[in-house]
Each structure stands twice: as structure tokens, then as C-alpha cells.
């Protein structure tokens, strides 16, 4: 029996495993990097061991340090979570060699499925070896790893060499393995997967299907179980392949077999993930089981029942990320002031109010899961929970999630992996009602700063405040506040925390929370306005902008905090560049972001080099536009 378990991971998944351990009466041990010293998963554990450093390569990817931590803390088992070392066969062996229990499949099974090319051969699925114009489009993929890293879609044969080079470089950086392969790219396909659970006595459960088609950059955003609209014959075929993959590798524990289902119903094997998946909660909700508890029991030698529990209803999960979808899914950092969801949904998170979202790791804030008797009810409940949640801090993809869940393609079960390619612009448009939220923010601020005399009998100049480009002009009167530019709005009441507005005869409350800039400790840095029909993140325009903030024409500033991982080959000061030409790549929160030339011209300064850590606004390079050169 396992008494003390170390989770070789961080954040949400570490907290998730700890929760099950508490239910089972198992003591817990966390490991943490220096930036994670005060993280929620560390605070939730019974003991914690420091892994010196910040970068994953120096901390969470150091299997030798993790094993030493487990032994030092007196743990007798290790759970890898997902990501990091979860699919590393050498780490699994090191855990077992140290006399510890490994909560996962045998190292040999991990090894068999670690390379997508080897996995395809094992299951008799060939990958494309030669590419001709008739094969296009194709997908270049890293043989190791996942999460969208080392993947490129190629639609023109001339683009293939550059795509191969970029995919190899990214795969080598992310997984230490630069092997890539090419396979047909299925347009309009659905990402469908089968959860399996296998014990050490020969029983393998196919635990239903999941649809994970809503993806950005080949990373999942919304998942559901069961996959809607699959013919029974296709479902049974997917089950058969998943069970065959498990038996072929002597698999034990939890795993996932992934497929791409084309519009004509043809299923293409993608890969097998030899670990717990991020989206496992929808399967848990559907079947009424705890997959982490099952993993632990299987590792202890327990046998599964002959048949898996029957599914019940429908479950949907949405991943809340600190990112700006409208700006190329740029990761965001800063203080998460508040994160609160209404009752009725499951929320898995690695953050608590007041925690800081850093630059070193994944941008996932939380996973929200709704379960209901029908798909329509589950989708409706999840959309409403996200809409009414309080998410105060950096920009997030919350509005995108709500709109995605309510989009006809999704509600009708027709969404595929190209969903965001088609609809991103509409899904990221400014939220409706933002102008009224700005009115509420201005009036709440006025209520918090009552002026002398409160009101005047003689006409006065209006007070003016601007939020997100919305200018609000208001006056104080004997009867309260009046608005100069919103004749359709009547101010019912205004306090620093809540403003009630009558808009066209409908009265709604606007809950206002202003957060100060820690650097100034007085001026509102960001204002969150929560309403029954949505929330708004507003940035006030300062009355007196800082005159020292200047940038030279052609300056290329870091759009996010991160690490410079690559600079374009041969790029040096004095080189001619074209508008849109990739100059360098930043890695932030496990994603690579390409930084391009803002205009055609000459690179007159280059301040970035591989390995450099940069903050938002750091000067990376300067490009003198061709027009300026001609004038000179």
C-alpha cells in the first residue's frame, strides 16, 4: 500500500492528484522550481522539495533530482502528471530502480509509443515518406512529444524545406529529439480520442470517446465526452484499435489513443499518450470514476472489474488560459487577483486569488467542467458558468470560450479542427456592452472620490474618463449623476462597488472592482466590471500620460515576457529584411512565438540572442524602413 506519494509536476495537475491522495489517505510531496516556491501546489502538499533554478530543463525535467527528492522526503511512489517527464521511459526506469512505485505504464510501453513513427509501425499504420504536389496539404510533426510543438502545415511544395527546418528546430528545443515525419493533413477533420484503463491482470477498459476538435496551434481548448454524432460502427472500431494498442505494448494504467476522423468517416491513427490527459475530467464525469484513484489502485496491484462503468449523460470541459486570442494567442502574465466560478461546475486549477502568473510555464489558469443529462444542457451550463465567473487579472480567453460554446457549429456538433481558422475574428470582436461597462467604471470611480460640494446649482464642465477607448462624460447633480453622451442611459444608483444602470428600460447591476498599479499604489491600473450578461476588463487612460515613454521608429519590442530561443540564420546588423520576415523566436509558457520585421528596410540594431530573458516591451531590434532610407 502506498503511504506517501510525490507528484513530479506542478500547477493544476499536481493539485488534482493531491486531492485524490487526500481522499485515499495518502500523504503528499511536492517539488518546485524557484519561481514556484509559493505556488498553490506547494501550499497544498504535506511536504515540498526545492529543485534549484527556474527553467524546466534545470528543474521539472531533471529526473535525477526528482528521484532524490522522493527518497529524501520518504515517498514510496511517484506520479508524473502530464507533460514534463510523464512520457519519459528513462525516468520511469529511474523511479523503479530507486525502489519506488511508478504510477504509470511500464517503461517498455512508454518507449514503444514515445515515437509517433514507431507507434504507427507497431499498429501497422504507415506514415508518408515522400511528398509530391499531389499529396498536399501535409502536416510536418515531431516524432517525440506533443502539445502542438514541432508541427507545421504545408500547402505549397516550395514551403516544405522551411517547414521541416522549423519543425526540427522546435522539436529539438522542446523534446531534445529533432526527428520529424510527414503525413497527410486532413482538412475539416475531427480530433477524437479513446480513454483506456488497463490493470496488471489483463483487463483493458475502453472508457468512451472524447472530441477535442476545438484547438489553437494544435493545442486543445474545448473537450467533450462522448464525441457527438459518431456512428456506432466507427466507435467500436476506435475502441478495437485502442485496446489493440494497449495489449500490443503490455500497457497498464491510464492512457489515451488519439485519432483524426475525416469528413467521410475515415479514422486516422495519430498517437498514443502514455499518461493521464489534461481533459480526463470529462471522462470521469461521464463514467462516475476517479481516474487518478484508479491509477494508484492499479499500481498497487488491484484488478479492474470485467466491464467498465456505463456512461451517463454528457460532459464538456473548457480550458481557461491567460492569453490574448486576438493578438496571436499571446500569453499574458501578472497577478490573478480573483478567480471564482458559480456552483454547479467542477473547476481544476493551480492558482488561488493573489497568485502571480509567471512566464516560465503553461498559460493554463483553470479547467471548468459541466456535466448534465444531455449535451445541450451541459454546453449551456458551461457557457453560463464561464460568462458569470469572476476572472480578475491579465487578459484571458474567457470571452472566446463563451462564444465558442454558443456558436452554431459547436452547438450542432459540426465543429472540426479548423474552427478557429474560420471564426477567430468574430469570436474575438470587442464584447457587446463594453461602452456601458465603461460608464459604470467611471461612475464607480466618481463615487469612490466624492468632490467638495458634491453638486452645484450652476452648470459646470463635465468630468471625463476614458476606458478602452470609450470616453465617458458625466456631471454631478442634485439628483445624482447625469451622462452627456448616453441619452438612453439613466443612472439608478452608484457606489464604489456597484452601479445600477437603466438602459432602454432594463435595469442591470454592474459590479466594479478596480485594482491599483503596485508600482504607483494609487492610480487604477485595471478595472473589472462583472455583469449578469458578461464581464469586461477595462484599462483606464491616465489623465497625464508619461511623456518619457518613447520608442524610435522601426523599434521591435517584445510582445510578451519570454526567452529568445532562436535568431534567423545569418541575421546581423546591416542586413536587408522584408516586411513580415521572421527575425527571431520567443518561447513563453511552453509556446514558440515568431517575431517578424514590422516593415521592409535595414536591420540597424539587434539586441537579442538565444538564451536572453526579456520582459514585455524589451527592445529586440530596430528596422529602418526603406522609405526613411530613400528620404535620407
Enter the C-alpha cell of residue 338.
480573483
Is the separation of the CB atoms in 100 and 7 below 8 Å? Answer: no
Residues 6+ away with beta carbon under 8 Å from 465:
438, 441, 442, 445, 471, 472, 540, 541
DSSP, residue by residue, 209-270? EEEEEEEETTEEEEEEESPTT--HHHHHHHHHHHHHHHHHHT--EEEEEEEEE-TTS-EEEE
Distance CA 229, CA 118 (A): 31
pLDDT for the residue numbered 141: 84
The band of 114, judged by pLDDT with boundaries at 50, 70 and 90, is confident
Closest CA to 614 of 551, 568, 555, 559: 559
pLDDT for the residue 151 = 83
Correct CATH for 555-631 of 3.40.50.2300, 2.40.50.100, 3.30.390.50, 1.25.40.10: 2.40.50.100
β-pairing, 582-588 with 562-567?
antiparallel
Q: What is the mean pLDDT of residues 359-377?
A: 95
pLDDT digits (tens, 9 = 90+) for 503-529: 999 999 999 999 986 654 445 689 999
Question: How high is the pLDDT of residue 260?
Answer: 92
Q: Averaged over 314-325, what is the pLDDT?
A: 97
Where is average pLDDT lowest: 264-268, 285-289, 431-435, 460-464? Answer: 460-464
CATH code for the part of the protein at 4-103: 3.40.50.20
pLDDT, mean of residues 466-491: 89
DSSP state of 81: -
State residue 469's pLDDT score: 92
DSSP, res 161 = H
Question: Do residues 146 and 271 lie in contact, with contact meaning Cβ atoms separated by under 8 Å?
Answer: yes
Residue 542 has pLDDT above 80, yes or no: no
Candidate ranges 142-146, 153-157, 411-415, 521-525; pick with highest mean pLDDT = 411-415
Inter-residue contact 81 to 5 (CB < 8 Å): no
**pLDDT exceeds cutoff 80 at 626:** no
Residue 567 CB burial class (10 angstroms; 0-12, 13-18, ≥19): buried
Question: What is the average pLDDT value for the chain, to the nearest integer?
Answer: 90
Task: Indicate whether 458 pLDDT > 60.
Answer: no
Architecture per CATH, 123-184: 2-Layer Sandwich (3.30)
Q: pLDDT at residue 62 above 80?
A: yes
Please report where in the chains the cell 507528484 appears, as a residue: 7
CA-angle at 363, arms to 567 and 346, nearest 5°: 160
Which uninterrupted H or E stretch holds 63? Answer: helix 63-73
Average pLDDT rounded to a whole number, residues 491-496 = 95
What the block records as the C-alpha cell of 379 is 454546453
Q: What mean pLDDT do residues 480-496 have?
A: 91
Summarize the confidence of residues 338-347 as an average pLDDT. 97
Cα–Cα distance for residue pair 500/512, rounded to 1 Å: 11
Would you please indicate which residues are annotated as catalytic (active-site) residues? 275
Q: What is the mean pLDDT of residues 314-337?
A: 94
Q: For CA atoms 304, 290, 280, 74, give the dihedral sign.
A: negative
List CB contacts of 306: < 8 A, sequence separation 6 or more.
Answer: 203
| Domain locations in the chain as residue ranges | 4-103, 123-184, 190-427, 434-538, 555-631
Q: Distance of alpha carbon 531 from its chain centroid, rounded?
A: 25
Indicate whether 548 pLDDT > 60: no
Span of 152-161, 175-184, 208-217, 542-551 with lowest mean pLDDT: 542-551
Most confident range (mean pLDDT) of 143-152, 174-183, 374-383 is 374-383
pLDDT value of residue 631:
46
**Phi and psi at residue 169, to the nearest 5°:** -65, -45
The residue-averaged pLDDT of 263-285 equals 94
Question: Quick one: pLDDT band at residue 618, thresholds 50, 70, 90?
Answer: confident
pTM surpassing 0.85?
yes
Portion of the chain with pLDDT greater than 70, in percent: 91
Span 291-313, pLDDT tens digits? 999 999 999 999 999 999 999 99
Mean pLDDT of 7-21: 98
Q: What is the mean pLDDT of residues 588-593?
A: 69
Any idea which fold 190-427 has? D-amino Acid Aminotransferase; Chain A, domain 1 (3.30.470)
Amino acid 549: pLDDT: 46
Reported as a pLDDT band with limits 50, 70 and 90, residue 478 is confident
Amino acid at each position: 500500500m502506498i503511504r506517501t506519494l510525490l507528484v513530479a509536476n506542478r500547477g493544476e495537475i499536481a493539485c488534482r492528484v493531491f486531492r485524490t491522495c487526500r481522499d485515499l489517505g495518502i500523504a503528499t510531496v511536492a517539488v518546485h522550481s524557484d519561481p514556484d516556491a509559493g505556488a498553490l501546489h506547494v501550499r497544498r502538499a504535506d511536504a515540498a522539495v526545492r529543485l534549484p533554478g527556474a527553467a524546466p530543463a534545470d528543474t521539472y525535467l531533471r529526473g535525477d533530482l526528482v528521484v532524490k527528492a522522493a527518497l529524501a522526503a520518504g515517498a514510496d511512489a511517484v506520479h508524473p502528471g502530464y507533460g514534463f517527464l510523464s512520457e519519459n521511459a528513462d525516468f520511469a526506469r529511474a523511479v523503479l530502480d530507486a525502489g519506488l512505485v511508478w504510477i504509470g505504464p511500464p517503461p517498455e510501453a512508454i518507449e514503444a509509443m514515445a515515437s509517433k513513427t514507431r507507434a504507427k509501425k507497431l499498429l501497422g499504420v504507415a506514415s508518408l515518406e515522400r511528398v509530391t504536389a499531389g499529396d498536399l496539404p501535409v502536416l510536418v510533426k515531431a516524432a517525440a512529444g506533443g502539445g502542438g510543438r514541432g508541427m507545421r502545415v504545408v500547402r505549397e511544395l516550395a514551403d516544405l524545406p522551411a517547414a521541416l527546418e522549423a519543425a526540427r528546430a522546435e522539436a529539438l528545443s522542446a523534446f531534445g529529439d529533432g526527428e520529424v515525419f510527414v503525413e497527410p493533413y486532413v482538412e475539416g477533420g475531427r480530433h477524437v480520442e479513446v480513454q483506456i484503463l488497463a490493470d496488471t491482470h489483463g483487463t483493458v477498459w475502453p472508457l468512451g470517446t472524447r472530441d477535442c476538435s476545438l484547438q489553437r496551434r494544435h493545442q486543445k481548448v474545448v473537450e467533450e465526452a462522448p464525441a457527438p454524432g459518431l456512428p456506432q460502427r466507427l466507435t467500436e472500431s476506435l475502441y478495437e484499435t485502442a485496446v489493440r494498442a494497449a495489449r500490443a505494448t503490455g500497457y497498464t494504467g491510464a492512457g489515451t489513443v488519439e485519432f483524426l476522423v475525416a469528413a467521410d468517416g475515415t479514422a486516422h491513427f495519430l498517437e498514443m499518450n502514455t499518461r493521464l490527459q489534461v481533459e480526463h475530467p470529462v471522462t470521469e464525469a461521464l463514467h462516475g470514476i476517479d481516474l487518478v484513484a484508479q491509477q494508484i489502485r492499479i499500481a498497487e496491484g488491484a484488478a479492474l472489474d470485467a466491464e467498465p462503468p456505463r456512461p451517463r449523460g454528457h460532459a464538456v470541459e473548457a480550458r481557461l488560459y491567460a492569453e490574448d486570442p486576438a493578438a496571436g494567442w499571446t500569453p499574458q502574465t501578472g497577478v490573478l487577483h480573483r478567480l471564482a466560478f458559480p456552483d454547479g461546475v467542477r473547476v481544476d486549477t493551480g492558482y488561488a486569488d493573489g497568485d502571480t502568473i509567471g512566464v516560465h510555464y503553461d498559460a493554463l489558469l483553470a479547467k471548468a467542467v459541466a456535466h448534465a443529462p444531455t449535451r445541450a444542457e451541459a454546453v449551456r451550463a458551461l457557457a453560463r458558468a464561464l460568462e458569470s465567473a469572476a476572472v480578475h487579472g491579465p487578459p484571458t480567453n474567457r470571452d472566446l470560450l463563451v462564444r465558442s460554446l454558443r456558436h452554431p457549429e459547436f452547438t450542432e456538433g459540426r465543429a472540426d479542427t479548423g474552427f478557429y481558422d474560420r471564426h477567430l475574428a468574430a469570436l474575438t470582436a470587442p464584447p457587446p456592452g463594453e461602452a456601458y461597462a465603461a460608464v459604470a467604471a467611471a461612475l464607480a470611480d466618481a463615487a469612490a472620490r466624492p468632490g467638495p460640494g458634491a453638486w452645484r446649482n450652476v452648470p459646470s464642465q463635465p468630468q471625463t474618463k476614458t476606458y478602452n477607448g470609450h470616453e465617458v462624460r458625466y456631471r454631478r447633480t442634485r439628483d445624482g449623476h447625469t451622462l452627456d453622451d448616453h441619452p438612453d442611459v439613466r443612472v439608478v444608483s452608484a457606489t464604489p462597488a456597484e452601479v445600477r444602470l437603466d438602459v432602454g428600460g432594463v435595469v442591470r447591476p454592474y459590479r466594479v472592482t478596480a485594482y491599483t498599479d503596485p508600482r504607483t499604489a494609487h492610480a487604477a491600473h485595471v478595472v473589472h466590471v462583472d455583469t449578469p450578461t458578461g464581464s469586461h476588463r477595462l484599462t483606464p487612460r491616465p489623465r497625464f500620460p508619461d511623456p518619457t515613454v518613447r520608442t524610435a521608429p522601426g523599434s521591435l519590442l517584445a510582445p510578451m515576457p519570454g526567452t529568445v530561443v532562436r535568431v534567423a540564420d545569418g541575421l546581423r546588423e546591416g542586413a536587408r529584411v522584408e516586411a513580415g520576415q521572421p527575425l527571431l523566436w520567443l518561447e513563453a509558457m511552453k509556446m514558440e512565438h515568431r517575431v517578424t520585421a514590422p516593415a521592409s528596410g535595414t536591420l540597424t540594431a539587434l539586441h537579442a540572442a538565444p538564451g536572453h530573458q526579456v520582459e514585455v516591451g524589451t527592445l529586440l531590434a530596430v528596422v529602418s524602413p526603406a522609405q526613411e532610407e530613400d528620404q535620407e
